[in-house]
C-alpha cells in the first residue's frame, strides 16, 4: 500500500476545505495504512489522530443490524414475521397518500405488515422526512411531530411513505429495529451492543454516549460559511427516550475497522465469534429482491445534499449495507458492502480483495464535495495500490 499517496489524498481533502480527516485500510484483517490530516476543531491546534472520536451517525445502522441479527439467530426476533408481534407500536401502520385541498393528510392502511427485514433494508416505508422526503416532512410539521434529534419516541410516529416491501427509501427503519432489540433483550440498545458486540470485538471507544476519555478526543462537526468552516453542534436532547439505532453512535476509525473486519471474516475476529458465518452471508447479499436503491433528493440542504453514490449504476441493499452490483469508478468490485454517516464518515467492506476501509471527517451537510470527493480520491488510491 502506497502510504505516501494515500496520505496525500488526506492532505488534499484538508486543503480543499475539511478541518480534518482520519482514515485506515486493512487487508485480510491486517492494518496496511493509518493516516490523519488537519485538526479536530477549527481554531484549536489539536491534530486529528487515529484515536479521535467521531459522531458516526448512520454507520450505526450496520451495528444495530448486527445486534438484531444476533437475536434472529437465537429465535428471539423473526426476520419476516410481523414486527408488531414484538413491538405493538408498529401495528396497523398508515400510508400517507398525499394531502387534500385543505392540506389535510390523506391516509390509508398499509397493505402488508412491517417486518424486521423491511426495517433493516429501508423498504418499510418509514423515511427521513426531515432530510429527504417532503410530504412526510410536511405531515410531521403539521402534526407537531418532534425532530428525530430530540430522541423522543413520538419522533418515530409518522405514517409510511409507501407500502412495506414495494420501494426503497432511506429512513428510520433501523431506529425501530433498535427498539425491537431493546424489547426482546430487556435492556437498552447501548448496553446490549456493549455486551454482545463492543466488548467481544475490543471496541473500547464506541458507545451512544462518550466516556470521559472519549469526550477528550471528540472531533467537532463543522459547517461551511462565507468566512470558512465554523464549528457546529446540534442541540442536545433534553430528555432522551431511546438510543438512536439508526445514527446515535460515537466511535473511532480503529474501532469501526474492528467491526468491519468481523463482518469481513464471517462474524469472527481474533478468535471471538459474534455472528454465525451463515448469518453474515445472509446480511451480505441482496435482501430486497427486485427493488433497487434510489437517489435521494434533499429537503434540508443544511444537513444533506442530494445523494447518489454511483449515478447510473444499480445498487441493492443487504442487512444492512449498500451493495454495489457493478465495479465502481474507484475500483471497488461488485458485491462490496458500504455505507456512511450524516457528518461525512464512510466505510466499505470488499470481500473479493479482503479489503476494509474507513474514512472519517465531521462536516455538515452530508455528501458535501469537500468530503465525498476526498473519500473517493482516497479509495481510488487504495485500489491503485493493491
Which residues are designated catalytic? 58, 61, 170
Q: What is the largest CA-CA distance in the chain?
A: 62
Task: Kindly give, in sequence order, each residue whose CB lies less than 8 Å from that of residue 99, ignoring residues fewer than 6 positions away.
Answer: 105, 106, 135, 138
> How many angstroms separate the Cα of 238 from the Cα of each of 151, 215, 245?
9, 19, 18
The three three-digit cell numbers of residue 94, written as one number: 398508515
Q: Report whether 230 contacts 222 (CB < 8 A).
A: yes
27, β-bridge pairs: 30, 355
CA–CA separation, 188 and 289 (whole Å): 32
106, β-bridge pairs: 98
CA Rg, the chain, in Å? 20
Residue 87 in 3-state DSSP? coil
CA–CA separation, 105 and 144 (whole Å): 13
Q: Report whether 64 contacts 54 (CB < 8 A).
A: no
- Half-sphere exposure for 234 (CA within 13 Å, toward CB): 18
- Half-sphere exposure for 365 (CA within 13 Å, toward CB): 15
User: Which of these, 113, 232, 137, 121, lies nearest to 170 by C-alpha position?
Assistant: 121
HEC sequence for 138-154:
HHHHHHCCCCHHHCCHH
Q: Please give the torsion angle defined by the CA atoms of residues 240, 241, 247 and 252, in that order, rounded to the nearest 10 degrees.
A: 60
Q: Report whether 316 contacts 293 (CB < 8 A).
A: yes
Q: At what angle do helices 369-385 and 3-16 cross, to 10 degrees?
A: 170
Q: How many CB atoms lie within 10 A of CB 51?
A: 17
Amino acid at each position: 500500500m502506497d502510504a505516501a499517496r494515500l496520505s496525500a489524498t488526506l492532505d488534499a481533502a484538508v486543503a480543499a476545505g475539511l478541518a480534518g480527516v482520519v482514515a485506515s485500510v486493512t487487508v485480510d484483517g491486517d492494518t496496511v495504512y493509518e493516516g490523519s490530516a488537519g485538526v479536530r476543531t477549527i481554531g484549536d491546534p489539536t491534530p486529528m489522530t487515529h484515536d479521535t472520536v467521531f459522531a458516526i451517525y448512520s454507520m450505526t445502522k450496520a451495528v444495530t443490524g448486527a445486534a438484531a441479527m444476533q437475536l434472529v439467530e437465537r429465535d428471539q426476533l423473526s426476520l419476516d414475521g410481523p414486527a408488531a408481534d414484538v413491538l405493538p407500536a408498529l401495528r396497523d401502520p398508515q400510508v400517507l397518500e398525499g394531502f387534500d385541498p385543505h392540506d389535510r393528510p390523506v391516509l390509508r392502511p398499509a397493505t402488508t405488515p412491517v417486518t424486521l427485514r423491511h426495517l433493516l433494508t429501508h423498504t418499510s416505508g418509514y423515511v427521513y422526512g426531515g432530510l429527504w422526503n417532503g410530504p412526510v416532512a410536511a405531515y410531521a410539521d403539521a402534526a407537531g411531530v418532534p425532530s428525530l434529534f430530540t430522541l423522543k419516541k413520538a419522533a418515530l410516529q409518522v405514517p409510511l411513505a409507501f407500502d412495506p416491501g414495494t420501494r426503497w427509501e432511506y429512513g428510520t427503519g433501523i431506529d425501530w429495529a433498535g427498539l425491537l432489540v431493546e424489547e426482546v433483550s430487556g435492556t437498552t440498545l447501548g448496553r446490549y451492543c456493549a455486551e454482545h458486540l463492543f466488548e467481544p470485538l475490543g471496541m473500547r471507544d464506541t458507545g451512544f454516549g462518550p466516556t470521559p476519555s472519549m469526550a477528550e478526543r471528540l472531533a467537532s462537526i463543522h459547517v461551511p460559511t462565507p468566512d470558512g468552516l465554523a464549528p457546529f453542534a446540534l442541540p442536545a436532547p433534553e430528555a432522551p427516550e431511546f438510543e438512536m439505532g439508526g445514527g446515535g453512535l460515537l466511535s473511532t476509525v480503529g474501532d469501526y475497522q474492528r467491526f468491519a473486519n468481523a463482518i469481513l471474516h464471517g462474524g469472527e475476529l481474533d478468535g471471538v465469534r459474534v455472528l454465525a458465518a451463515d448469518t453474515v452471508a445472509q446480511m451480505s447479499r441482496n435482501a430486497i429482491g427486485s427493488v433497487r436503491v434510489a437517489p435521494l433528493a434533499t429537503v434540508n440542504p443544511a444537513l444533506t445534499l442530494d445523494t447518489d453514490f454511483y449515478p447510473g449504476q444499480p445498487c441493492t441493499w443487504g442487512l444492512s449495507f449498500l451493495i454495489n452490483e457493478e465495479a465502481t469508478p474507484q475500483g471497488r468490485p461488485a458485491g462490496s458492502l458500504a455505507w456512511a454517516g450524516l457528518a461525512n464518515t464512510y466505510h466499505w467492506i470488499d470481500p473479493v480483495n479482503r479489503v476494509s476501509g474507513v474514512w472519517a471527517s465531521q462536516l455538515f451537510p452530508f455528501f458535501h464535495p469537500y468530503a465525498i470527493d476526498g473519500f473517493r480520491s482516497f479509495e481510488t488510491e487504495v485500489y491503485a495500490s493493491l
